[in-house]
Amino acid sequence: IHCVAILNRQGNPLYLRNFDKQQEDVKFHYLVYTSCDVIEERLEENKNGDLFLGLLQTIGDMAVYGYMTNTGKKIILVTSVSIESAAIRSARIKEICQSVHAAYIAMVCNPFN
């Protein structure tokens, strides 16, 4: 995982963490903001109510995945493109998104934070 971002309903960043120190933060800001339009399109198409939006876009060697919370927050993960099966990769990314969502809920619900 290169980057994790959490955006509010309007698309403003609440949290953006760059784990790849060789890349600048601006590149990940660009990837996250360009994914917001794709998320809006996916939400219009998504009729089954699944929170995981799947692969949003690939740019070069980066793959961007999206997850929408019940309250409208958007969780975006930027990862490397790999050779493993798309179904296995999608399941792993979905688990990671659910873990990030649970950590975000725990942080927001903590009155001492």
Q: What DSSP line would sit under 1-37, residue for residue? A: --EEEEE-TTS-EEEEEE--TTS-HHHHHHHHHHHHH
Specify the CATH number for the domain of residue 68. Answer: 3.30.450.70
Which residues are paired to 16 by β-bridges? 5
| Placement of tokens 């089954």 in the chain | 48
pLDDT for the residue 68 = 92
CA 104 to chain centre: 13
CA–CA distance, 69 with 63 (Å, rounded to integer): 20
Domain residues for the domain of 12 are: 3-109
Q: Residue 86: is its pLDDT beyond 70?
A: no
Joined tokens for residue 10: 């309007």
Q: Residue 28: is its pLDDT beyond 80?
A: yes
| Mean pLDDT (the chain, rounded) | 88
pLDDT for the residue 24 = 85
The number of distinct structural domains making up the chain is 1
